[in-house]
Structure 1
Amino acid sequence: MNEFDFKEQLEIKITKLSQNIWEDKVGGISLNKWLENFQTNDDPSKCEQTHALYLVSNFMYFGTREIRELLKSLYRDKFLKPLVQTIRRQNQDTKLLRDIQSSIKKDLSETRFLGIGNPSESGTHLLYFFRQENNLSKDDFLHSHEIISMARSPVNQQVTLRLKNSKIRRYIFLDDVCGSGTQAIEYSKTLLSEIKALDPTIKICYFSLFSTAHGMKNIRKNTHFDEVGCIFELDESFKCFSDEARQFKGEAELPISKDFAKAFCEKYGINLLNSQEHALGYKSSQLLLGFAHNTPDNTLPIIWGETATWTPLFKRYQKY
């Protein structure tokens, strides 16, 4: 297969993906503008543009509709079903719907859902859809700063911490994607430690729509979360330059090279982020993943990086 035919097939595939799955995020003009970031070569095995097209043809994009469905699954599979099973076990395996619904209502009143990060970040952005899709009340949600309050003694002016609402027995933190688990670990060192110090019986959960296997393991090992889970776990095969990379399973039959692709992705990634560590995504996550609301920094920077001389394909809204 010559370079022209292969590139043409890739461009057709990307056009169809954009029209049918990517919510028309990528048009011919934007794709060509992005391709100008890369060098070309008559030999497809040494052509950066051909390899860049191939990488993008394996991009996983989740639009608003898919995110909403995933949020329904998260509520059902990570919260509601386990809760029903617990209620039944505590009531001699009852199947009486009235009793189960009554207990669910009570447990829900003692539960609050929160986003990871401050109110402007993607974790909290998802809460709006999460509330709508699962028919929840706005009272079932709060910000992390509403969990603990400070009181100053009028006698010695000493400041003490207390839980604002002692009736809340479960806090569930939601996130869109977990790469390394760093943010959840930072939360554990600060907020979760304070909650557990005030009341160790309170249950605190972390649920993400997507997570690397490493991220899940890291959070389970290094945080105070009582329960950790995700809807879609990304194993090593989703890291596009790993030994098990699914994107390059048919490499021998195609005019592409994983080593060549990794080399130029790393080269440009270092220039874009001024970092060797994050040149292939945050802490070398090496993902090809994006959402309607943003592109995570775990994705290859050549996809979302933006400078005066580099045009992104899927824009990332940075945290400044």
Structure 2
Amino acid sequence: MSELEEFLSSQKDKIEKLLNGWYTPNDPQRVTKELEIRKWLSNPEFNTHNDGICVYEDAFFLLSKIEYITDSEIDDHIKVVSRALKGHLRDFGIEKKDIIFRSLNDSIPNGVSSYLKRFSEIMHLDERQIPQSGLGDVVNKRPKAIVFVDDLVGSSANIQTFAAAHDRELKSCEKKKIKLFHLSFFCFNDNIPLLKNIFHKVETSRMLTNANKAFEEENPIFRKDEAARLRIKKWCRALGEDLYSKGPLGYGDNQLLIVFRTNTPKNTLPIFWAGIASESEDQAAKRWNPVFPRDKSAYTNKEEIPKEGHEYIFTTSGEPVEDGKVKVFLNLGHYISAINVILNGRRFEGIHLEDKLQIIEIEQKAGLLESARNHIDLMLDHPDLHKIDATYLAEIHLLDLKISCQENRFEDVIEKHQSVISLIDDNLKAKRKCSVYHRTGVSYAIDRDVQNTQECLKNSLKISKEQNLTHSNITCRMYSSLIKGFVGIETDIPDPIEEVIKCGEEYFNNEENKDLWKYNILKSSLQCLFAEACLLLYQGKEEAGFLRLTAANLFAYYIKSDPKSEGYAELLALLPDNENVDKELITLAMHSDINSHNEFQKNAKRVVSNLLSLRPLLDKIGTNTTYEDWRKLREFFDDPSLYSIQYFRRH
């Protein structure tokens, strides 16, 4: 047994106690966090920053001092600052309907977005009171008050940056007599005077002081063990220098031990959150396994896409981006991060045309359809479209057709497909026609056009066989199975469920699939598992269907599936409504965000308890999943003892 295994074995009860404090018994994050703790402690760098002494015990000690902020605790913080806000509104004679809530940034970080939603629910706000527009647009609407919400105010630098960037808007608020309020859940006390210089009223639910900084003498976690405090601070700083050189002990030297369920503040010690998805540019962070990963994409400004044309929209000057980080982020499902790597601080209009097309393809495959549609229309509506190289023109129209299919604009797909096929014939490889034909086949199937459906599917299969396109062949057979199973149109598929299972296995063994940078190895097979679950439920096989749907939802959390993404959108479009099918529940299962994931799993408690033997597989999800792992999953589904329980149905 290795030194780490011995340590983990000795700490088993303490790890269980930690997990009990952070999560409820049926919380799906509980299982994954136990695995993340193991991966975190297995970082080899832990053994190189403490004079050769193993630091497992010190690292675990710090982990045990983490303050994990649950959703219910966030609700409590919201209620505290909401009560204070209501008092200020009364004092100023302002009605609730005359205020607007927003983030301190012009974009709304994912975590703050969820908090604003809870503010809306708790204070019964109208959705128009939480606009997505920039501060200038908000000021022009002349509300009587603007309420800025922040989860944590750690460094004064962010406040100063806000004031400098929005000096004009702040002066306009003063001129128009718009009151400014700032609400936060956590705020260091030395930031209050600076905030009060900008905002009329400042409220925080919990004040932070030096006693909240991990290694300050005022912090009681080390009690009187000065040697331990200095020892752990020494290796933590040394390791932090490698992981996040901009703030080795947390941004602004805040040294926090605070973690939110939605994300981890960069003010917290980097040893907990630094990783490939974080904003750290240090190479060590790319190799580091964080225990509470921070996702930079959740805090990235997302520019509004202008509808008007731009003189550089079709530029091919310079070289397109070739960056290995793009592929890494895509394989992890961090699509916004991948797009940001391509943009590299530039506006969409000014980047190389190939980079534009790559961004649109990422958005299309990931289900970011609103952004994909804005971008593709920016090109299609441009007066110079006819002047560009025919190869690029074909790519643009092919992407437009794919996006239309995922938007359920099936009449448009049928109308466009012949012209797209012609463009491909003249300018692209024949294999690109497969994706047109099987999407058009789906569109005709939705329209119950039997002859054209069959013809499109046959064309796709024919091309895939002639060109030896294994991935396209599998995909077409999967769609053929769904069309036969849900719509009843005869295809060459004898048994839709057996064929979908076979497709899932073949995706794993397909070398071509492994090379597709858009997906990790499990992505396509998971889609087949969702398809299998839907087919079983449609046939009234409730136990088998719900079991697979719940398992697929467990994996979706890692694979970053989305009901609007490629394949999933078409599956839902083909799935009919009947007494056996709860499409709302199935759609919920396909979401990979934590809130949807938790909502689905709450309805699946008894099912989840029967999936405990899947826990060893979760450790490999999204990293090095093998065909053998997939076979173990299939064998698991064949266990007859699983079908003696009462499964759930949401009404």
Shorter-chain TM-score bucket reads 0.7 to 0.9
Q: Which residue of 1 aligns with 2:13?
A: 12
Q: Which residue of 1 aligns with 2:594?
A: none
> Does residue 36 of structure 1 match 2:42?
yes
Q: Which residue of 1 aligns with 2:137?
A: 148
> Does residue 271 of structure 1 match 2:238?
no
Whose radius of gyration is greater, 1 or 2?
Answer: 2
Alpha carbons 2:213, 2:219 under 8 Å: kept: yes
CA distance in 2, matches of 1:125, 1:50: 35
> Does residue 314 of structure 1 match 2:288?
no
Q: Which residue of 2 aligns with 1:107?
A: 95
Q: 2:218 aligns with which of 233, 244, 267?
A: 244
Q: 1:202 aligns with which of 164, 178, 185?
A: 178
Alpha carbons 1:25, 1:314 under 8 Å: kept: no
Alpha carbons 1:171, 1:203 under 8 Å: kept: yes
Residue 237 (structure 1) shift: 0.6
Q: CA 1:14/1:210 → structure 2, altered by over 3 Å: closer, same or farther?
A: farther
CA distance in 2, matches of 1:25, 1:250: 35
Residue 74 (structure 1) shift: 1.7
Alpha carbons 2:78, 2:185 under 8 Å: kept: yes
Residue 250 (structure 1) shift: 4.7
Alpha carbons 1:209, 1:230 under 8 Å: kept: yes
Q: 1:63 aligns with which of 55, 60, 70?
A: 70
Q: Which residue of 1 aligns with 2:199?
A: 225
Alpha carbons 1:11, 1:53 under 8 Å: kept: no
CA distance in 1, matches of 2:6, 2:264: 30
Q: CA 1:5/1:251 → structure 2, altered by over 3 Å: closer, same or farther?
A: farther
Q: Which residue of 2 aligns with 1:157?
A: none
Alpha carbons 1:178, 1:208 under 8 Å: kept: yes
Q: Which secondary structure state, in structure 2, belongs to the residue aligned with residue 112 of structure 1?
A: strand
Alpha carbons 1:188, 1:225 under 8 Å: kept: no
Q: Which residue of 1 aligns with 2:147?
A: 172
Q: Which secondary structure state, in structure 1, belongs to the residue aligned with residue 166 of structure 2?
A: helix
CA distance in 1, matches of 2:35, 2:128: 45
Residue 272 (structure 1) shift: 0.9
CA distance in 1, matches of 2:235, 2:150: 31
Q: Which residue of 2 aligns with 1:134?
A: 123
Residue 188 (structure 1) shift: 1.9
Residue 130 (structure 1) shift: 1.3
The structure with more strand, counted as a fraction of residues: 1
Q: Which residue of 2 aligns with 1:82?
A: 88
Gaps of 5+ in 2: 276-284, 301-651
CA distance in 2, matches of 1:33, 1:234: 31
Name the stretch that deviates more: 183-192 or 228-237.
183-192
Q: Which residue of 1 aligns with 2:636?
A: none
CA distance in 2, matches of 1:58, 1:9: 18
Q: CA 1:49/1:20 → structure 2, altered by over 3 Å: closer, same or farther?
A: same
Partner deviation per Cα, 1:84-138 (whole Å, 9 max, x = no partner): 4x27xxxxxxxxxxxxxxx6xx621221111122134433342112111222221
Residue 103 of structure 2 aligns to which amino acid in structure 1? G
Q: 1:282 aligns with which of 221, 241, 251?
A: 251
Residue 76 of structure 2 aligns to which amino acid in structure 1? E
Q: Which secondary structure state, in structure 2, belongs to the residue aligned with residue 280 of structure 1?
A: coil
CA distance in 2, matches of 1:226, 1:11: 50
Q: Which residue of 2 aligns with 1:182?
A: 157
Q: Which secondary structure state, in structure 2, belongs to the residue aligned with residue 208 of structure 1?
A: strand
Alpha carbons 2:67, 2:257 under 8 Å: kept: yes
Gaps of 5+ in 1: 88-102, 150-162
Residue 309 (structure 1) shift: 2.5
Alpha carbons 2:136, 2:169 under 8 Å: kept: no
Residue 218 (structure 1) shift: 3.7
Q: Which residue of 1 aligns with 2:516?
A: none
Alpha carbons 2:173, 2:179 under 8 Å: kept: no
Q: Which residue of 2 aligns with 1:96?
A: none
Alpha carbons 1:193, 1:224 under 8 Å: kept: no
Alpha carbons 1:265, 1:302 under 8 Å: kept: yes
Name the stretch that deviates more: 12-21 or 257-266.
12-21
CA distance in 2, matches of 1:7, 1:245: 27
CA distance in 1, matches of 2:20, 2:261: 14
Q: CA 1:293/1:27 → structure 2, altered by over 3 Å: closer, same or farther?
A: closer
Q: Which secondary structure state, in structure 1, belongs to the residue aligned with residue 288 of structure 2?
A: coil
Q: CA 1:301/1:198 → structure 2, altered by over 3 Å: closer, same or farther?
A: closer
CA distance in 2, matches of 1:258, 1:5: 25
CA distance in 2, matches of 1:198, 1:313: 42
TM normalised by structure 1 equals 0.76
Residue 241 of structure 1 aligns to which amino acid in structure 2? F
CA distance in 2, matches of 1:123, 1:15: 30
Partner deviation per Cα, 1:168-202 (whole Å, 9 max, x = no partner): 12111001111013223222223254232354322
Q: Which residue of 2 aligns with 1:91?
A: none
Moved over 6 A (4+): 4-9
CA distance in 2, matches of 1:134, 1:271: 44
Partner deviation per Cα, 1:61-80 (whole Å, 9 max, x = no partner): 1122221222122211x211
Alpha carbons 1:10, 1:53 under 8 Å: kept: no
Q: Which residue of 2 aligns with 1:94?
A: none
Q: Which residue of 1 aligns with 2:590?
A: none
Q: Which residue of 1 aligns with 2:485?
A: none
Q: CA 1:270/1:296 → structure 2, altered by over 3 Å: closer, same or farther?
A: same
State percent identity of aligned pairs. Answer: 24
Q: CA 1:11/1:175 → structure 2, altered by over 3 Å: closer, same or farther?
A: farther
Q: Which secondary structure state, in structure 2, belongs to the residue aligned with residue 139 of structure 1?
A: helix
Residue 7 (structure 1) shift: 7.9
Partner deviation per Cα, 1:19-55 (whole Å, 9 max, x = no partner): 33245276443212111225469x9xx5411111000
Q: Which residue of 1 aligns with 2:260?
A: 291
Residue 141 (structure 1) shift: 2.2
Higher relative CO (CA 8 A, sep ≥ 6), structure 1 or 2? Answer: 1
CA distance in 1, matches of 2:33, 2:153: 29
CA distance in 2, matches of 1:224, 1:7: 49
CA distance in 1, matches of 2:211, 2:32: 25
Residue 252 of structure 2 aligns to which amino acid in structure 1? K
Q: Which secondary structure state, in structure 2, belongs to the residue aligned with residue 185 of structure 1?
A: helix
Residue 140 (structure 1) shift: 2.4
RMSD: 3.0
TM normalised by structure 2 equals 0.39
Alpha carbons 1:176, 1:210 under 8 Å: kept: yes
Q: Which secondary structure state, in structure 1, belongs to the residue aligned with residue 187 of structure 2?
A: strand
Q: Which residue of 1 aligns with 2:80?
A: 73
Residue 205 (structure 1) shift: 1.4
